[in-house]
Amino acid sequence: MEVSETRLGVAIVAVFGLGILFSILNGYYIEDTGEPIPLMVYGMTAASMAVGALIILLFQWKISQKQLDKVLNVLPDDERAIIQLLVREKKMEQTYLVAESGLSKVKVSRVLSKLEQRGIVEKKPLGNTNLVKLRV
């Protein structure tokens, strides 16, 4: 899963804002007690942020997986077989796609041509075969 630049920017701003809030809170705490906030509070905050980030990533992965399953159910069987292999492996040689999918060389070639025209896959020559990469 790739993180977009916008989401990364929002996350950096949020962490920076949290740091500013902790500084303000530390100032108020020092005024009231005369001591800085215990280090344990910073540790607990960092652990909470890490757990929250992990939960967000897991939900995002699950949502993406469900969306992919819905899209794959709409595709014809031959296209679905090839895309499922490419999702699992990211990129594959065309000869391995033929072997793994159980489709004929001609059928795989035709399906890949259709998928390439629609911008779903990218084929690059690799010796006597092609290296096929999923673009989406």
The pTM assigned to this predicted structure is: 0.55
Assigned token pair, 76: 């014809």
Is the pLDDT at 61 greater than 80? The verdict is no
Is the pLDDT at 11 greater than 70? The verdict is yes
Over residues 106-118, mean pLDDT = 93
| pLDDT band, very low/low/confident/very high, at 98 (cuts 50, 70, 90) | very high
3-state SS record for 6-75: HHHHHHHHHHHHHHHHHHHHHHHHHHHHCCCCCHHHHHHHHHHHHHHHHHHHHHHHHHHHHHHHHHHHHC
| pLDDT band, very low/low/confident/very high, at 72 (cuts 50, 70, 90) | confident
The maximal CA–CA distance of the chain, rounded, in angstroms, is: 78
Assigned token pair, 117: 């025209």
